[in-house]
Chain A
């Protein structure tokens, strides 16, 4: 175990940074949730819990559920695509792995907005995908792809896929081969080795990647605007609009506070489940 001093030295810069530039600023803002919106969008400093009673509204809950569903789908598909891809990269000759990883991330050094525009070109009814499918005779009528839930999920998977590939790769890279070989030597079939040995070892990586997609998706407000045609409201849009369009900071702060609480609970539940699955908790606690 680390000495108390060494542990503190590792934690100090980060704690200071987050204390000054995360805790204090967010506290300043979230305190607003107990005040009232001024007539012209300022803040009336009258102590109240009214914003929370307003937030307890089926309308806002339904938006949260809808967003959670979309973000959940995006997370699921991103993991399903990313795992085998990360596996393939981790299996490639070691000197090529860095290049393969950079190639995964490279498209995302262009700009979010123009990448999304590119998807609009691909997906619209007169778009390249519809024309391609029609040309080969797979469809007679153009499909409505753009401005749908499907398009939002697709856009989110696309933009956050590299995050999952990188995170899973970080868990897979230089995995202790002896464990895999031991399992194989003992006659376990490939899928069993994967399920019993590889997956548990990499589960924290999968979980971290999944968390990235989920939290980034649920807070996203550009993809639902452009690929969803703004017909589907997501939590990201809702909170953004409360602060900027409605200029109702107190209510926006209340909604954000509730969202943060719910997400924290989800994350802790997730972390506990992953620890169980990875079987690390027991091992850790057993250690002196």
Chain B
């Protein structure tokens, strides 16, 4: 190797190896695009606390990372409620100090009584909603009303439906259709759910939890199993798209903020959560992500036109809290996972 090339290589290597040490201030892990792009900048300007955004793709991924590293490296993580519950059970979540989060008062009272964490002792809800059916009114003969319309689709819809592939929601659809609890992992229930899903698989276009709304817009699919907020992305592109909660009901999904027990900046973390609970962020979430937030003052400040264009945005908290939440399955997880594998591997 020539000396110049060696020198260039050495320079490149030293540039890489001399990466800065851990950042001071807060490190927050969230999905990309799930909070206002200028939020951290405004937060720092107002409080003087430096903050950096780390991004994760899925709950599962950040969870794996936190378990492997014992939770170090992050101060606050955004995860869905069953994952928050597991973090708490594993001793990785810090207790929330309500005295340092006065903006908790902005939440609906219902958002303080969530089944996984009554009183919000270790997790603060950021957004919530339902799971149901999203469909093209111009491509289905009769509007769907039941989970069975998805699981046993009409002949004209065969090969035109998709289901969510994330295990809990996939099995959840069958649980709701059968009138079972979403968190029931008894052998009989799993057996019945598995049988129903394997039968449904034959008529399915795909399992899809990332591009199903695009499939509706292109007409590839006519009816999809969807989270309400994502269905709104389809509605925004094509007004023929509609969302319905089947008569058997839905789950209540909740995305939460959790402060890590390993955080060395817990006061700053509480200050951040307090800042996020302000009206402005809630309004941004509703207007830009088209998700409902448990933030009362934000929801009340929304343009009524938005609620008209996206009717599921108007589902009241009293109705939401009536739906069952997904809970960590604990001992039941093993049998549950095997059944999911069986469904996914079925021909």
Q: Do chains A and B touch in the complex (CB under 8 A)?
A: yes
Chain A interface residue number, banded: 35 or more
Contacting residue for A40 out of B90, B201, B345, CB 8 A: B90
Contact residues, A36-51 vs B (CB, 8 A): 37-42
| A270 at the binding interface (Cβ < 8 Å) | no
User: Across the interface, do B337 and A242 meet the contact criterion of CB distance under 8 Å?
Assistant: yes
In the complex, whether A223 has a CB less than 8 A from a CB of chain B is no
Most buried by B among A37, A146, A229: A229
Contact residues of B: prevailing secondary structure = helix
Q: Are B220 and A41 in contact (CB under 8 A)?
A: no
Contact of A39 among B89, B201, B336, B345 (CB under 8 A): B89
Q: Does chain B have a CB within 8 A of A111?
A: no
Residues of B within 8 A of A39 (CB): 89, 330-331
Q: Once bound together, how far apart are the Cα atoms of A120 and B220, in whole Å?
A: 11
Size category of the binding interface on chain B? 35 or more
Q: Which chain B residues lie closer than 8 Å to A241 at the CB level? A: 167, 337, 340-341
B206 touches A231 (CB 8 A): yes
Among B61, B64, B167, B208, point to the contact of A229 (Cβ < 8 A).
B208
Chain B residues positioned under 8 Å from A179 (CB to CB): none
Cross-chain contact A225 with B165 (CB below 8 angstroms): yes
| Chain B stretch 332-347: residues in CB contact (< 8 A) with chain A | 333-334, 336-338, 340-342, 344-345
Residues in chain B near residue A40, CB distance under 8 A: 86, 89-90, 328, 330
Cβ < 8 Å to A, chain B residues 186-229: 201, 204-208, 210-211, 215, 218-220
Are A42 and B345 interface neighbours, CB within 8 A?
Answer: no
* B206 neighbours in A (Cβ, 8 Å): 146-147, 229-231
B240 on the interface (CB 8 Å rule)? no
CB proximity of B222 to chain A, nearest CB, Å: 12
Q: Does A238 contact B (CB under 8 A)?
A: yes
Does A267 sit within 8 A of B, measured CB to CB? no
- Asked whether, in the complex, the Cβ of A230 is within 8 Å of the Cβ of B344, the reply is yes
Residues of B within 8 A of A38 (CB): 90
Q: Looking at the assembled complex, report how far the CB atom of A119 sits from the nearest CB atom of chain B, in whole angstroms.
A: 12
Bound Cα distance from A13 to B291, whole angstroms = 52
Taken together as a complex, chains A and B put the C-alpha atoms of A251 and B334 apart, in Å, by 10
A230, B333: Cβ atoms under 8 Å?
Answer: no
- Evaluate contact between B344 and A124: CB separation under 8 angstroms: no
CA A229 – CA B203 in complex, angstroms?
Answer: 13
- Output the nearest chain A residue to B207 by Cβ-Cβ distance: A230
Whether, in the assembled complex, B63 has its beta carbon less than 8 Å from a beta carbon of chain A, the answer is yes
Chain A 132-153, CB within 8 Å of chain B: the 1/0 string?
0000000000001011000000
Distance in Å: Cβ of B162 to nearest Cβ of chain A: 8
Query: Contacts A243-B64, A247-B64 hold; do A233 and B333 have CB atoms under 8 A apart?
Result: no
B74-86 CB mask vs A (1 if < 8 Å, else 0) is 0000000000001
Q: In the complex, A3→B336 CA distance in Å?
A: 58
Q: Which residues of chain A from 199 to 245 have a CB within 8 Å of any chain B CB?
A: 225-226, 229-231, 233, 237-238, 241-245
Q: Please choose the segment from A58-66, A73-81, A92-100, A102-110 that sits at the chain B interface, where 4 or more of its residues have CB less than 8 A away.
A: A58-66
Q: How far is the CB of B97 from chain A (nearest CB, A)?
A: 24
Note all chain B residues with C-beta closer than 8 A to A37: 333-334
In the complex, which of the residues A41, A229, A230, A244 contacts B90, with contact meaning CB atoms closer than 8 Å? A41
Tell me the complex Cα distance, A42–B88, Å. 12
A245 and B218 contact, CB distance less than 8 A: no
Please encode chain A, from 19 to 35, with 1 for each CB lying within 8 Å of some chain B CB and 0 for all others: 00000000000000000
Q: How distant is the Cα of A62 from the Cα of B167 in the complex, in angstroms?
A: 20
Q: Which residues of A contact B220 (CB under 8 A)?
A: 124-126
Contact B67 A42 (CB under 8 A): yes
B41 at the A/B interface (Cβ < 8 Å)?
no
Contact, CB under 8 Å: A231 / B201: yes
A238 near B341 with CB under 8 A, answer yes
User: Which residues from B are CB-within-8-Å of A251?
Assistant: 334
Q: Please name 14 pairs of A and B residues whose Cβ atoms are closer than 8 Å in the assembled complex, sorted by A.
A: A39-B331, A59-B342, A62-B345, A117-B211, A229-B207, A231-B206, A233-B344, A237-B344, A241-B167, A244-B64, A246-B337, A247-B60, A248-B337, A251-B334
Having A59-B341, A233-B344, one finds 19 other A-B pairs with CB under 8 Å, namely A37-B333, A38-B90, A39-B331, A40-B89, A41-B63, A41-B90, A225-B165, A226-B210, A229-B205, A230-B208, A231-B206, A231-B344, A237-B344, A241-B167, A244-B63, A245-B60, A245-B167, A246-B333, A247-B86
User: Which residues of chain A have a CB within 8 Å of any CB of chain B?
Assistant: 37-42, 59-60, 62-63, 66, 117, 120, 124-126, 144, 146-147, 225-226, 229-231, 233, 237-238, 241-249, 251
The 9 closest A-B pairs by CB, nearest first: A229-B206, A244-B60, A246-B337, A230-B207, A40-B89, A233-B345, A233-B344, A147-B206, A230-B165
